[in-house]
Amino acid sequence: MYMKLTKETKLFRFQLLEWINHLTRYKMTSITSAMPAIQKPAPAFRGTAVVNGQFKEISLSDYKGQYVVLFFYPLDFTFVCPTEIIAFSDRSQEFKEIGCQVIAASTDSHFSHLAWVNTPRKQGGLGEMTIPLLADKSSKIARDYGVLDEETGIPFRGLFIIDDKQNLRQITVNDLPVGRSVDETLRLVQAFQYTDKHGEVCPAGWKPGKKTMKPDVVASKEYFKDS
């Protein structure tokens, strides 16, 4: 025998289904926030960073006129993260020589950053750093850049190349277990700078000194003719 549904019961069931659908949509979209767009202005940021062992306020606008590599990492005092940060720090001079500032960021506090810097590398610390460690305790910066895992409150391994006009030129986001390549990041910055200056395009695996291509159907054949 079937129960006759009243208008109130039908309305309740409809509202319940709508609520479930809302939660499902929220669950699907709340893992990370929206990713910023290539060729568009990079999200502005300001915060306290550890710079040369001291606390210092920095902002994206401080670096206008030069390239910026901004990379997020999950947490201080972890495992893959120090290998990345140390690798970028140890080669920061190579980036500076081509007018590029490297900045590392996480949702830890600046006090945690400083404690990590002051811990010797042999004990799991970072030791002396030549790049800023930006504190994003409110998670706003990671959220603005679309790399924040809303469930855990930590960012994925997002890396952003920002040009001298402060527009985004490249975005990569790694899952937590895998670190990034300093060599590839440096190569990409060099490639974007070359195209900015010369108006040509860089083929796969291009490095400074290698052949480039003219963005023209006829002219590009010269590249393939000689390759």
For residue 23, is pLDDT > 70?
no
- Do 145 and 160 touch, CB atoms closer than 8 A? yes
Query: Rounded distance, CA 60 to CA 161, Å?
Result: 12
Q: What span, in angstroms and rounded, lies between the C-alpha atoms of 49 and 133?
A: 5
Residue 216: which pLDDT band, with cuts at 50, 70 and 90? confident
Q: Is the pLDDT of residue 30 over 50?
A: no
Q: Reply yes or no on whether the pLDDT at 40 is more than 50.
A: yes
Q: Which residues are catalytic?
A: 81
- Cα separation, 182 vs 188, in Å, equals 10
In this prediction, residue 27 carries a pLDDT of 41
Residue 8: predicted pLDDT:
52
Helix boundaries (H) for the chain: 7-29, 80-90, 92-96, 110-117, 140-144, 182-198, 221-226
Q: Write out pLDDT tens, residues 131-168.
A: 999 999 999 999 999 999 999 999 999 999 999 999 99
Portion of the chain with pLDDT greater than 90, in percent: 73
Confidence band (pLDDT; 50, 70, 90) for 214? confident
Predicted confidence (pLDDT) at residue 14 exceeds the cutoff of 60: no
pTM: 0.83
- Ordered by where they begin, the domains of the chain are 40-180 (3.40.30.10), 181-226 (no CATH)
pLDDT higher than threshold 70 for residue 12: no
pLDDT of the residue at 80:
96
pLDDT value, residue 220: 72
Task: Choose among 62, 94, 87: nearest CA to 166.
Answer: 62
Predicted confidence at residue 132, as pLDDT, reads 99
User: Does 89 have pLDDT greater than 90?
Assistant: yes
DSSP string covering 63-87: GTTSEEEEEE-S-SS-SHHHHHHHH
Alpha carbon distance 78, 108 (integer Å): 12
**pLDDT, position 222:** 77
Q: What's the pLDDT at 167?
A: 98
Q: Residue 28: pLDDT above 60?
A: no
In this predicted model, what pLDDT tens digit does every residue of 92-141 receive, in sequence order?
999 999 999 999 999 999 999 999 999 999 999 999 999 999 999 999 99
